[in-house]
Chains A and B, each alone.
Chain A
């Protein structure tokens, strides 16, 4: 380290650092006072923080601080507070029938607000933000209900799901008539044309054998979907005369479904969301337009 002589800059009267670049010298000004005191203040603050807040690690634990701060305890408290705020109206909602909810503006507002929020978070990914569904995911705005559109039916479906892992799930599966070789290709083609022409009201293929289709239908399909094709909500067998087919109502789509049916799964929500939110959701879904 080369010693340098103290050199005072003539113009400012401040000592230089002794560094020089092509004749330019660096003044050794002191740190600004405001900055320095702020720096000292942060050191004092840290000492106070160590005493009051969780900070230093020890051998088997850490100092928890005089204020007993805990982020997790805080959130539990906030969460409990929010829950108890809603508890009174929530409990009334649980007790109330659909008619009572409809005639009590306070309950209806509560159910639609919390149901709407829960719908956006949890249901919209499959049923769409407008609840109009997608192919394979039912439209909740229309009058077509595979598992029933009454308040109780909707509540049951949301709570336990469809073909879910919950023990109380709704369950129904159509046989794979083609894959498992119950019907041959001609019979499947005939029955798909029959369903399209007579029940769905879509165009059958030219020269389709509707009589054979009718026989095949009565022998194989009517047990669940009914002689008239009106379906069965107990079995989850869709109404085949309804306009919205989950997987399409063209002959081709019906053939595919008879051959090797797709079965959608709806998860159970009762454990994830709790019974009050599920009831709010049921009221919300029921209110969308198709509720029965």
Chain B
């Protein structure tokens, strides 16, 4: 067969075959991935997106560390039943400061993209310490150590810096006062809450773990969970301008 004759050169020379594979995959990448970087329609225009506060970012790091994404997705798909259960479908804009994103693909537990504000801090604490205490049939493991572990804040400034390198718009002030802001958000009575509010206007600051004496990993994780999906103002968001 003539096709075989032309193909023979690939089949008999591994180097040429390798080059052929690289060329084909590159075409796929160029057509499917590269346009997402320059098409304006990739990321929707929204009101309200802001970078994570240092405490939320630390909480997000714990979320990643504990592998929450293996059982919880953070992506509400544009399907009616998901809209009715979870709220507005997730937008690309909502993950634009996520490095890496936490969309996940498995839902052993519910989707968490809009869990922020849905339950009280106390519920999150009880549930994280022992999920069975409030949800008797839950198969989620307990994370009681989060309430006991003091949050490691030594490298929080570097976390902000690294995110800034990737294009997250942290100001120099936000980076400089990262640690102070972290303490102030979890402990408004002791930290520099005025400075925090100036750098992160309108962001909730309270003892997320219910204990104002210390900044624990529980503070950070609950702060992160309580802001998930709450940033974009869907009153102002124009659905029809962002059809895909």
**Minimum Cβ distance to chain A for residue B8 (Å):** 7
Name which residue of chain A comes closest to B30, CB basis: A57
Alpha-carbon distance between A128 and B121 when the two chains are bound, in angstroms = 17
**In the assembled complex, B35 has its CB within 8 A of some CB on chain A:** yes
**Across-interface contacts of B38 in A (CB, < 8 A):** 60
A1 touching B83 in the complex, CB below 8 Å, given contacts A72-B78, A126-B123: no
**In the assembled complex, B204 has its CB within 8 A of some CB on chain A:** yes
- B63-87 to A contact mask, C-beta < 8 Å, 1/0: 0000000000000001110011101
**Across-interface contacts of A30 in B (CB, < 8 A):** 1
* The one of A57, A137, A165 that contacts B123, using a Cβ cutoff of 8 Å: A137
Alpha-carbon distance between A71 and B239 when the two chains are bound, in angstroms = 12
**In the assembled complex, B41 has its CB within 8 A of some CB on chain A:** yes
Residue contact B83 to A79, C-beta cutoff 8 Å: yes
Residue contact B123 to A73, C-beta cutoff 8 Å: no
Residue contact B134 to A134, C-beta cutoff 8 Å: yes
**In the assembled complex, A61 has its CB within 8 A of some CB on chain B:** yes
* The one of B34, B85, B242 that contacts A121, using a Cβ cutoff of 8 Å: B85
**In the assembled complex, A148 has its CB within 8 A of some CB on chain B:** no
Name which residue of chain A comes closest to B131, CB basis: A125
Alpha-carbon distance between A126 and B119 when the two chains are bound, in angstroms = 8
8 Å CB interface, B79-130 against A: 79-80, 83-85, 87, 89, 117-123, 126-127
A72 touching B35 in the complex, CB below 8 Å, given contacts A121-B85, A126-B134: no
- A267-279 to B contact mask, C-beta < 8 Å, 1/0: 1000010000000
Name which residue of chain B comes closest to A267, CB basis: B117
- A203-219 to B contact mask, C-beta < 8 Å, 1/0: 00000000000000000
Residue contact B89 to A75, C-beta cutoff 8 Å: yes
Name which residue of chain B comes closest to A136, CB basis: B122
Q: Is the interface of B mostly helix, strand, loop or mixed?
A: helix
**In the assembled complex, A266 has its CB within 8 A of some CB on chain B:** yes
A125 touching B87 in the complex, CB below 8 Å, given contacts A61-B41, A62-B41, A267-B118: no
Q: Top 7 closest A-B pairs, CB basis?
A: A57-B35, A265-B120, A75-B78, A70-B243, A78-B80, A73-B243, A72-B243
**In the assembled complex, B6 has its CB within 8 A of some CB on chain A:** no
**In the assembled complex, A28 has its CB within 8 A of some CB on chain B:** yes
Interface size on B, residues (CB 8 A): 39
**In the assembled complex, B154 has its CB within 8 A of some CB on chain A:** no
Residue contact A126 to B35, C-beta cutoff 8 Å: no
* The one of A28, A72, A82, A126 that contacts B89, using a Cβ cutoff of 8 Å: A72
8 Å CB interface, B23-41 against A: 31, 34-35, 38-41
8 contacts between A and B (CB under 8 A): A30-B1, A57-B31, A57-B34, A71-B244, A75-B83, A76-B239, A126-B134, A134-B133
8 Å CB interface, A124-145 against B: 124-126, 128, 134, 136-137
* The one of A75, A128, A165, A272 that contacts B80, using a Cβ cutoff of 8 Å: A75
**Minimum Cβ distance to chain B for residue A76 (Å):** 6
**Minimum Cβ distance to chain B for residue A176 (Å):** 12
**In the assembled complex, B166 has its CB within 8 A of some CB on chain A:** no
Residue contact B79 to A62, C-beta cutoff 8 Å: no
**B-to-A contact residues, CB < 8 Å:** 1, 4, 8-9, 12-13, 31, 34-35, 38-41, 78-80, 83-85, 87, 89, 117-123, 126-127, 133-136, 204, 239, 242-244
**Across-interface contacts of B134 in A (CB, < 8 A):** 125-126, 128, 134, 137
Alpha-carbon distance between A61 and B31 when the two chains are bound, in angstroms = 13
Alpha-carbon distance between A74 and B244 when the two chains are bound, in angstroms = 10
* The one of B8, B13, B87, B239 that contacts A72, using a Cβ cutoff of 8 Å: B239
Residue contact A1 to B31, C-beta cutoff 8 Å: no
* The one of A1, A54, A82 that contacts B9, using a Cβ cutoff of 8 Å: A1
Residue contact B39 to A60, C-beta cutoff 8 Å: yes
Residue contact B79 to A125, C-beta cutoff 8 Å: no
Alpha-carbon distance between A165 and B226 when the two chains are bound, in angstroms = 12
**In the assembled complex, A48 has its CB within 8 A of some CB on chain B:** no
8 Å CB interface, A246-287 against B: 262, 264-267, 272
Alpha-carbon distance between A61 and B35 when the two chains are bound, in angstroms = 9
Residue contact B122 to A265, C-beta cutoff 8 Å: yes
* The one of B8, B78, B127 that contacts A125, using a Cβ cutoff of 8 Å: B127
Residue contact B4 to A28, C-beta cutoff 8 Å: yes
Alpha-carbon distance between A72 and B83 when the two chains are bound, in angstroms = 11
* The one of A56, A60, A70, A124 that contacts B244, using a Cβ cutoff of 8 Å: A70
**Minimum Cβ distance to chain B for residue A200 (Å):** 23
**Minimum Cβ distance to chain A for residue B212 (Å):** 11
